[in-house]
Structure 1
């Protein structure tokens, strides 16, 4: 979740987010994911949030923010949960006032992606992140 925007009116201003605290095994998966993430997503250039961490990444002016090693969302157990699949990666969908939040399912660690409202009905960013997720965060079961 975004906590605050740092800086003034610059489009290059980094945002500040909460860095997850996963167990060491999950943090290692997140480090591998961090190294595989693309330089741009949905035509937004990489602009990582503060504090700098291998557990977080961002694109654009907080348009797309990824956190790896987040806790399992409570809504994942809700019978009315909605999901989406993007290029072989399954995601829980949560509609939030500031924009959609997606969290991977069936992976050895949870990867969360938040997007601003302009991506409310667009899974293109998830599709562009899918290869890096599949390569570095193993599935917990075969969902294909």
Structure 2
């Protein structure tokens, strides 16, 4: 279990590593399979070019499962594993019909749950997380079906 948490935390930290000022943002892409991969590709295609004033930029390596805005201000990865520190009894806030898990130890990392794939969003302190998650709710709902 400690290894999984370290790997998960490492992935979260990797989201904000820049490949260079004004350039593409380097982050590790997830590797979803099957229906989750197809749903994630659809989600990333539906995401806006501008989010809370930040323009969408390229990620390195390029991935159909990743979207980044600004210089890493907001980063989305679709098809990530279930958060290892999420307990079945955790209360998960719902924003515009999308449930988002957030660990108190990683206050800028949110993971949508209860959908065909887990979607991880890292939001810099430059933005209000709830406002970003409201804007992401419609594309998430349209691309990723709810699960039981």
Normalization by structure 1: what TM-score?
0.85
Instruction: After TM superposition, list the pairs within 5 Å mapping 1:1-144 onto structure 2.
Output: 1-3=12-14, 4-7=17-20, 10=21, 12-77=22-87, 79=89, 81-96=90-105, 100-119=108-127, 122-141=129-148
- Aligned partners of 1:95 and 1:101 also within 8 Å: no
Q: CA RMSD in A?
A: 1.7
Between the two proteins, the alignment pairs up a number of residues equal to 135
Residues 1:62 and 1:95: Cα distance change in structure 2 (over 3 Å)? farther
Q: Compare the two structures and name the one with the higher helix fraction.
A: 2
1:72 aligned counterpart, secondary structure: coil
Normalization by structure 2: what TM-score?
0.82
How far is 1:2 from its partner?
Answer: 4.2
Write out the 4+ residue segments of structure 1 that deviate beyond 2 Å after TM superposition.
Answer: 1-4, 81-84, 94-97
How far is 1:82 from its partner?
Answer: 4.9
Q: Deviations over 1:65-122 (max 9, x none)?
A: 000000000122264x45322211110012456x511101110110000111233x53
CA distance in 2, matches of 1:48, 1:68: 15
Q: Compare the two structures and name the one with the higher strand fraction.
A: 1
Unmatched runs of 5 consecutive residues or more in structure 1: none
